[in-house]
């Protein structure tokens, strides 16, 4: 046994550290669930089998330099002597490497096919020279490929650096822009406070759109009524939260802004849930739920009992009901926003009658130049003729 021949305490400690290091290497490469001890045990068995009956004169050196280190002819970090340490299967990269070498030797033998004495044998010197020439050509081609790869990497790195520099320049220029709402300098076009304000306005508009899309689609009067009611509820909720905070002694602007944001988000969530519940209990969602329930009950043979089939059908129908409610809400929101966009476009367009009227007014207000008589001359009258 090799370990039994190591009698020095310092050498044993050094070997223990080396074994732990190689175990950590296996775990880092193959993952924390890998059998690192089994991998190292099989590696030592292979090294001992390769050693055969040859005497090991230096056990410590043999373990440190030959038995414990991983050996691989490919670039795969999980390969050890042509086998994968994680799956214990043959390494495909090593197989490809071996096939490449065999192909190169076959090409050299084919190029050096010079029969001697008619028996078809090829001199070893000729085969070696052809193989050497092929190796040199392959080495030159590999060096050229490596050079091209290096140039491509350098070009890519230079382009990436240039792109990063442009992005940094754009970021610097954008950061130097003042806020478009309040004019605060160095705000990248919009400061944080104004950005939060815009987001709060977006939350309010979304809540109003949900209310109008759910209950105010029948007429403009109802749409206006529900929009004003939703805005009033939002404002009342925000004022109540701020009033409670100020009454509790909280006057910091950041705390008040956060409370306002949370209150608006809470009201938006409540309006959405109320709208979904209203749509889910409507006729469209009810008919969809009934169709899904009937379809599921037609497949009741897939369940063990009637009660199980009925429960599964009920769950499927409820899922379909709420999915239909979500779909209807999104569809109604799209219609409301599209209608508003068309109305804004019509308002932006100029009225043809107003355009012609403005032109007529401009012509009527245009005054002709006044002709003044020359000095010393009086105007000619009708009585002088």
**Where does 176-282 have alpha helices with state H?**
192-215, 220-247, 253-280
Other CB atoms within a 10 A radius of the CB of residue 149 amount to: 10
Other CB atoms within a 10 A radius of the CB of residue 279 amount to: 21
Given a contact cutoff of 8 angstroms between Cβ atoms, the answer to whether 74 and 100 are in contact is no
The string of pLDDT tens digits covering residues 175-221 is 888 888 788 888 778 887 888 888 888 998 999 999 998 888 888 88
How far apart, in whole angstroms, are the C-alpha atoms of residue 193 and residue 197?
6
How far apart, in whole angstroms, are the C-alpha atoms of residue 81 and residue 47?
10
Domain ranges, ordered by start, for the chain: 1-70, 192-346
pTM, to two decimals: 0.49
DSSP 81-142: TTEETTT-SBPHHHHHHHHHHHHHHHHHHHHT---BTTTTB--HHHHHHHHHHHHHHHHHHH
Maximum C-alpha span of the chain: 154
Q: What is the DSSP letter of 57?
A: S
- Looking at residue 385, what is its pLDDT? 47
The string of pLDDT tens digits covering residues 154-176 is 999 999 999 999 988 888 888 88
């Amino acid at each position: 046994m090799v370990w039994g021949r190591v009698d020095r305490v310092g050498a044993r400690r050094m070997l223990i550290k080396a074994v732990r290091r190689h175990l950590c290497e296996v775990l880092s490469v193959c993952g924390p669930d890998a059998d690192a001890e089994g991998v190292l045990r099989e590696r030592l068995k292979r090294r001992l089998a390769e050693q055969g009956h040859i005497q090991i004169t230096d056990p410590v050196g043999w373990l440190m330099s030959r038995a414990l280190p991983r050996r691989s002819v490919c670039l795969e970090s999980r390969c050890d002597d042509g086998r994968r340490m994680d799956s214990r299967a043959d390494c495909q990269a090593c197989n490809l490497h071996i096939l490449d070498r065999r192909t190169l030797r076959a090409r050299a033998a084919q190029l050096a096919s010079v029969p001697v004495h008619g028996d078809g044998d090829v001199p070893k010197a000729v085969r070696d020279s052809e193989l050497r020439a092929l190796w040199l050509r392959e080495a030159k081609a590999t060096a050229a490929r490596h050079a091209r790869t290096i140039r491509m990497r350098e070009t890519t790195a230079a382009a990436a650096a240039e792109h990063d520099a442009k992005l940094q320049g754009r970021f610097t220029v954008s950061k130097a822009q003042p806020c478009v709402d309040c004019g605060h300098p160095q705000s990248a076009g919009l400061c944080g406070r104004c950005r939060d304000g815009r987001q709060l306005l977006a939350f309010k508009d979304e809540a109003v759109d949900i209310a109008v899309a759910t209950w105010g689609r029948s007429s403009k009067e109802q749409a206006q009524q529900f929009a004003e009611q939703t805005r009033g509820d939002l404002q009342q909720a925000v004022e109540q939260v701020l009033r409670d905070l100020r009454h509790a002694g909280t006057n910091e602007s950041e705390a008040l802004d956060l409370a306002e944001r949370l209150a608006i988000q809470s009201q938006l969530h409540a309006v959405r849930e109320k709208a979904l519940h209203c749509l889910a209990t409507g006729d469209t969602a009810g008919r969809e739920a009934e169709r899904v329930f009937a379809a599921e009950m037609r497949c009741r043979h897939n369940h063990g009992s009637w009660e199980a089939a009925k429960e599964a059908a009920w769950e499927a129908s409820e899922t379909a009901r709420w999915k239909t409610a979500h779909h209807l809400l999104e569809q109604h929101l799209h219609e409301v926003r599209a209608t508003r966009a068309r109305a804004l476009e019509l308002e932006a367009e100029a009225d043809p009658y107003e355009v012609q009227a403005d032109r007529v007014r401009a012509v009527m207000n245009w005054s002709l130049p006044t002709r003044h008589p020359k000095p010393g001359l009086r105007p000619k009258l009708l009585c002088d003729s």
